[in-house]
Amino acid sequence: MQEQVQLLEKYFGYQQFRPGQDAAISSVIQHQNTLAIMPTGGGKSICYQIPGLSMNGTSIIISPLISLMKDQVDALEALGISATYINSSISTQEQNKRLYGMQAGKYDFVYVAPERFESDYFIQAIKRTYLSLIAFDEAHCISQWGHDFRPSYRSIIPNITRLPHIPVIMALTATATKEVIRDIQQLLHISDEHTVHTGFERKNLSFHLVKGKNKQDYIHSYLKEHQDESGIIYAATRKQVDSIYELLHKAGYHVSKYHAGLSEKERQEEQMSFIHDKTTIMVATNAFGMGIDKSNVRFVIHYAMPMNIESYYQEAGRSGRDGEPSDCILLYSPQDVQLQKFLIEQSDMEEEAQQKEYRKLQSMTNYCHTHSCLNLYILDYFQSEQDNASATCNRCSNCTERKEKLDITEEAQMILSCVKRLEERFGVSITSKVLKGSKDKKIMGFRLQKLTTYGIMAKYTEKQITEQIHFLIAENLLSIEEGRFPLLKLNKNSVEVLKGKRKVTMFSSPIPTNESVDYNTSLFEELRNKRKELAQQLELPPYVLFSDTSLKDMARYFPT
């Protein structure tokens, strides 16, 4: 590895490798297909750049993000390394010129979009190139279990196996569950032995969960305290991006925006202003950010809950790439769950894939209700084996804002026995209505007021009861089925609580208050009319599908 350390110093000016870099590099140099899983900002690029420099031949880097290739190539060229990129943003003539150059061995690194492999012309060109390495950056895109599956990534594989001289293959990613890791390993023939996993923990990130506050007020006060710091605000929809952008723009902030509704040129401009610090805040949908290398992002605020933990961790992880302390803030309201369910429901995924998304959404929802350490919750989700992890991070909002500990064993027992009385045939909403003793139409319709558990928690508000039910789910003291209408089910732990063998405590936390609701009335009417149609498709009675309340919730996301 002596030679590699010298290359590191000569080209990049760094004295030593970061954890995992040396193992990944030496594996590749020994011509072993290698998978490197390192957190965002962990230094994955160097893992293919150093082997590329020390082997004869050209390295091809496959990356899903065309907009970043130019930057990556410019950065290498500035270091005196010959590199180029080939994608749809350059003319055919220029593409051909670069392909010729590649065959002549002119470049050490060629960045390409996965779609290139669909072109015969390109395949012929790489057949005539002496290739040493093919690197799959953002390799989770290859797995359909990943959160960002790209079929074009997968179709590259048969093309590689047909090459006259098969180069060594490297895969790199920052977000992968065990399932995705296994998938990548199988598809690219990578053994456990040549998989380098440094764990996912980002010690400089502090996770915060904000509930029951007006989101806009929160953003205003946060920004006031963090003047001139660079940060990203992720919103759920384009409309939401536009309205937050307007708000901040009017308040005098230097702000950019990014979503798929803008032209390619506009997006480029907005992205560049942010990356080059001409603006300090980027308001964007999740279309923004993959592979972005901006080191001084001090905070990432999610205006609404994302669809799953993978997306959340990847988006939040765009802060603090320089290793300095940074904030990851999620502004949660229960309505966020409705929107995500709606999006899953509307997607054209197959049944099995949809179930999987619901399950992931449930884990994301649990994150918003757990009272354990948020950092550990995420690491557990990725089943990351952390030798050095302690039970609390002492950075996240759950660790630092712990208040009084309340014994809610009795309440838990009431909730669980109600689930039992309801014969596990209902979800969170009906169950809390029964416990509250609500006179809601549905309760009367099902004659649930006759149950012995009807009204036994009348002294709480329905919101408080719901919060406690979600807490029990998050702590696995109660199970919830997957699907559009998840039913509550008792589990082993519930039985222990019911028998009094287990105490339940929760930290007192602010119970979500009603935010002032501002919804798009015409969209609400439209959804209302569409409700029947949707229900017919799914062969369900309309009221089971979308209540007026949940339609209103959806309409909130699309302000007038």
Residue 62, strand partner residues: 112, 136
Applying CB under 6 A, which part among 38-46, 59-67, 441-449, 540-548 lies near ligand ADP?
A: 38-46
What is d(CA 425, CA 8) in angstroms, rounded to the nearest whole number?
A: 61
Does 17 engage in binding with ligand ADP (CB under 6 A)? yes
- Beta strands 326-332; 205-211: pairing state: parallel
Identify which of residues 306 and 317 has a Cβ nearer to Mg ion in the complex.
317
371: closest CA among 395, 402, 394, 343? 402
Q: Which stretch binds ligand ADP (CB under 6 A): 44-52, 76-84, 280-288, 540-548?
A: 44-52
In the bound complex, what is the minimum distance in angstroms from residue 378's beta carbon to Mg ion?
20
481 part of the interface to ligand ADP, by CB under 6 A: no
Nearer to ligand ADP, 135 or 457 (CB): 135
Find out whether 100 and 75 touch, Cβ atoms under 8 Å.
Answer: no
Among 7, 37, 46, 86, binds ligand ADP (CB under 6 A): 46
Subset of residues 224 to 253 that bind Mg ion, contact rule: CB under 5 A: none
Among the listed residues 56, 83, 57, 80, the one whose alpha carbon sits nearest the alpha carbon of residue 72: 83
Nearer to Mg ion, 44 or 194 (CB): 44
Report which secondary-structure segment, H or E, holds 479: strand 479-480
- Amino acid sitting at position 516: S
> Which of Mg ion, ligand ADP, none does residue 41 bind (CB under 5 to 8 Å by kind)?
ligand ADP
- Least CB distance to ligand ADP at residue 78 (A): 12
Rounded distance, CA 164 to CA 130, Å? 10
Tell me which amino acid residue 233 is.
I
Binding ligand ADP by CB under 6 A: which of 25, 33, 37, 41? Answer: 41
Distance CA 69, CA 173 (A): 17
Contact 397, 223 (CB under 8 A): no
The partner in contact with residue 46, picked from Mg ion, ligand ADP, none with C-beta cut-offs of 5 to 8 angstroms by kind, is: ligand ADP
38 binds, among Mg ion, ligand ADP, none (CB under 5 to 8 A by kind): ligand ADP
Our separate counts of H helices and E strands in the chain read: 25, 17
Site for ligand ADP in 274-333 (CB under 6 A): 293, 295, 321
Asked whether position 14 contacts ligand ADP by CB under 6 A, the answer is: yes
Within residues 4-63, the interface with Mg ion by CB under 5 A covers 44
Query: In the complex with ligand ADP, which residue's Cβ is closer, 135 or 368?
Result: 135
Residue type, 210: V
Question: What's 10's DSSP letter?
Answer: I
Radius of gyration in angstroms for the set of CA atoms belonging to the chain, rounded to a whole number: 26
Which residues would be at the binding site for Mg ion (CB under 5 A)?
Answer: 44
Which residues would be at the binding site for ligand ADP (CB under 6 A)?
Answer: 14, 17-18, 21, 38, 40-46, 293, 295, 321
